[in-house]
Every structure is written in C-alpha cells, then in structure tokens.
Chains A and B, each alone.
Chain A
Amino acid sequence: MSLEGRLALVTGGGRGIGRAIALKLASQGADIIVNFFRHREKAEQTAKDIEALGVKAEAIRANVGEPAKIDEMFDMIGNKFGRLDILINNAASGVGRPAMDVDVKAWEWTMDINARACLLCAQRAAKLMEGRGGKIVSISSLGSPFVLPNYAIVGVSKAALEALTRYLAIELAPQGICVNAVAASAVETEALKFYFKEGLVKDKRQVTPAGRMVIPGDVANVVAFLCSEEAFMIRGQTVVVDGGTSVGLFTLVGKESE
C-alpha cells in the first residue's frame, strides 16, 4: 500500500489517535497537514516526526467546531496546495454526562466538533478532490451502537457521524471519493486518562477478548487500509476495531469482577 504523492489532512492530528494516523499515512508516503486546536507543541512535534519520515508536514491551527475556522483552513489548503487526496475527520471533544444532564451548550459543543465538522470538512475536501478522487475516513466509537456510562452526547454525535458517512459515501461515489468510518473501543490515549479520572471507563484489559486494550496504532492501521486502493470497494462502512469486545459481550459477563 503506497500513498506516495498524496496529500492528507488529519484533523486533531497532533496527538493520540490522530497522531498515530498521521504518522502511519506519512510512513506510506503521504504528505500530511496536521490540524490542531489547543496543543500547538504536540502538533509541531508530530509534524517534525512526520518530516523525519521523508515527507512534508505542516501544522495548521483551527477549531473545527467553528465553521469560519474550517473555511479558513481549507482556503489555506486550497491556496497553498490546490488539492487534497485524503481527509481524516479525527478531531473530537465531548462532555461526560448522562443524557438527562445534557444541556444545550454541551450538546452544541459536542455535536459541532464531532458531527457538524465532519460534514463541513467533507464538503470543502470534496471540492479539492474534484477530478482526482479521494478518501474520507472519520473516527467513530462504540458509543454510537452501544450505551456507555456518561457518554450520551458523544455517542449521539458519533451516531450522526456514522450516518453521515453512509450518505456521503453514496453522494460522493460518482466523484471517485471513498467514504468510511472506523469505530474503536476505548483506546489508550491521553483523552482516555481523562475518562478514567472521571470514572467513565474502568480497566478494559479485563474485558477485551484480544487480551489488551486497543492502541492508536491499531486504529491507524485500519484507517491506512481504507485510504488505500485495495479498499476501493468498501463504501459507507464503519469498521470496528475493538479486539472483539463488542461481539463477545455475552461471553464476558462476570469477567469484570474477577
């Protein structure tokens, strides 16, 4: 699988899963635009690490929760590069609350970043992919098909992202753009430390049939495959990367307390 000569934008690409995806795509030859919002140092470090792989990298600050900032980012990409081959909608945020405690502000914050940004980025990206085809992969989570504690808004935002993935896959198919999503269970990242702290996630190693937690590289491997020509016939799907957790739920009953 080679992505040589391709240009990829990874939103939230400075750390965690986004960083792993950015590095994986770079390792296959793609030049990378690392979008970040609040963590410049990490994004710039990721850009340096990408350049060390022999490809080009650039870190761009933009809050994808704000449509105007998305426009500014894509204007810059359009002016500077005039094209885009791969869009990874990875940036995410959220407020850990039960559904009954969700207020309008928390809803809008989460939906704007996790769902609306995917639509707006895809709309702008598709224009830059015109005449050349492209790949769009969005990062979801098991909070969409399943109920996780205090995860209501994030789960709903991911369900919106997955539905949008299906619609975009069909609408953009005539332009040669493949659109898919990857849903991971709890991934060992800095964001997860926050969820542990808040008591939202317990030690998942005990309930993962594969015997370990999902790491960012596991997600990046699947994203890279979906960005390859080998995955050309996969459209509108959400590929689950969870070490078997979701399909093995009933075999794990009681194991958490062992």
Chain B
Amino acid sequence: MTVEEQIREIVARITHVDKNIITRESTFKEIKADSLDIVQALVAVEEAFEIEIPDEEAQKFQNFGDFVSYVESRVAQGEKV
C-alpha cells in the first residue's frame, strides 16, 4: 500500500467518509474534517509512519494532497538515512 493509500484510509476512518471520495485536491472542509479530526489524523499518521509533524507544518496543509506530499517527503528522507 502506498503512503497516499495509507493516509487516505486513516483519514476516512477518522472522518467516517468513503475513502473513494478523498482526492489529493479535497480540502479538509470537503472531507468534513473538523479541528479534532485533523489532530487525530495527524496523530494516527505520526504513529503509522513513525514521524512527527510539527503544528507549524500541519497548519500549511490546504488539502489532502499537501498532507500526503509532506508525509511522502518525510518518509523519503527517512529512507535515505
């Protein structure tokens, strides 16, 4: 499963939306994710990928794609180490 697919499953589980409607362009509002959903998604993703996502970075995410891209870059960095 790709990073994007894993994050999509996590976000869908937390927000109770069909994962198939979540695209990289979906905003958190469109996914009906409130502030608590976003925090829970961050926590779940941090645990799944064993990374930490600073709030300052998370606040820059405009949509699902931004979230995925950030995690992908962090995971790629980890692989290089």
Flag the segment in B20-28, B39-47, B69-77 that touches A. B39-47
- Enumerate chain B interface residues (CB-CB to A < 8 A): 34-36, 39-40, 42-43, 46, 52-55
Closest to A41 in B: B54
Interface residues of chain A: helix, strand, loop or mixed (majority):
loop
Judged by DSSP, the binding face of B is helix
Q: Write the nearest CB–CB distance from A196 to chain B, whole angstroms.
A: 15
Task: Check if A109 sits within 8 Å of B36, measured CB to CB.
Answer: yes
Complex contacts, A37 vs chain B, CB 8 Å: 43
Could you tell me if A38 and B52 are in contact, using CB atoms closer than 8 angstroms? yes
The distance in angstroms between the C-alpha atoms of A109 and B52, with both chains bound, is: 20
- The interface residues of chain A lying within 8 Å CB-to-CB of B53 are 38
The yes or no answer to A105 lying at the interface (CB within 8 A) is yes
Number of interface residues of A (CB under 8 A): 11
Given A38-B43, A38-B46, A63-B43: A95 in contact with B36 (beta carbons within 8 A): yes
Q: How far is the CA of A39 from the CA of B57 in the complex (A)?
A: 12
Hey, which chain A residues are within 8 Å of B52, CB to CB? 38, 40
Instruction: Provide 11 A-B residue pairs closer than 8 Å at the C-beta atoms, listed in order of the A residue.
Output: A38-B43, A38-B46, A38-B53, A39-B54, A40-B52, A41-B54, A63-B43, A93-B39, A95-B34, A95-B35, A105-B36
A95 CA to B40 CA, complexed, in Å:
12
Chain A hits for B39, CB < 8 A: 93
